[in-house]
Structure 1
Amino acid sequence: LQLAVPRIQNIKPRQTARSYGGNYDKKLFAKLRKLRKSIADEENIPPFVVFNDATLIEMAEQCPVRANDLLLINGVGERKLERFGDAFMALIREHLTGFDD
């Protein structure tokens, strides 16, 4: 009788708001969180259902303003793009142009 030896896979640790390297716009991240909370409250869903912190951090790092760019962000699929994308892209555009200050 021989037992198989389990293979250990290289699993990357999940990126969270606390573990991210800090290469993102923290002011934009705060605005994105506020928008997420507003949408979540309006739709009576938990904020993480809209987007999780890691997704918002990636948005604050990449600053996508077009749908195709937003789809490249982890955690954004067609459904979330259709449901929430316009509001988040508008906020990012406003932030980049300085009209929200």
Structure 2
Amino acid sequence: MELAVPRLDIAARSAKRDKMAHRQYDKKLFAKLRQVRKAIADEEDLPPYVVFNDASLMEMAECLPTTAGEFLAVNGVGHRKLEKYGTVFLSVIENHLTAGDELGY
């Protein structure tokens, strides 16, 4: 007996990729968030996507949360990740905004 493995329709995957590609997010901040995620993942011996996936980081770079409540509203952020990683990621966002870095859209 074989079990069928559900596959995401090719058109659905393509549409999802297109949607993510057209998001308006700060690419400089996104790069910083990815670096922090990688450092945390290496330290915890985890794949980076377990810390946060790219879509969550893009949303952070788009919405620019600066409070715990705003951070919690980002898809992929729950109470556990807020407690574990919130301070670090909010600090990166806050520093990016206050350092006078140009928004990299």
| Matching residue of 1:47 | 48
Unaligned segments of structure 2, at least 5 residues: 1-11
Which residue is equivalent to 1:89? Answer: 90
RMSD of Structure 2 on Structure 1 (CA): 2.4
Q: Percent identity?
A: 54
Mapped contact 1:16–1:54 kept (Cα < 8 A): no
Larger radius of gyration: 1
TM-score by length of structure 2 reads: 0.76
Structure 2 CA distance for aligned equivalents of residues 17 and 54 of structure 1: 12
Higher RCO (Cα < 8 Å, 6 or more apart): 2
TM-score, length basis structure 1: 0.79
Counting matched residue pairs gives: 90
Q: What secondary structure sits across from 2:21 in the alignment? A: coil
Q: Does 1:68 align with 2:95?
A: no
Could you list the runs of 5+ residues in structure 1 that have no partner in the other structure? 1-11
Deviates more, 1:13-22 or 1:28-37: 13-22
Bigger mean CA offset, 25-34 vs 13-22: 13-22
Greater helix proportion: 2
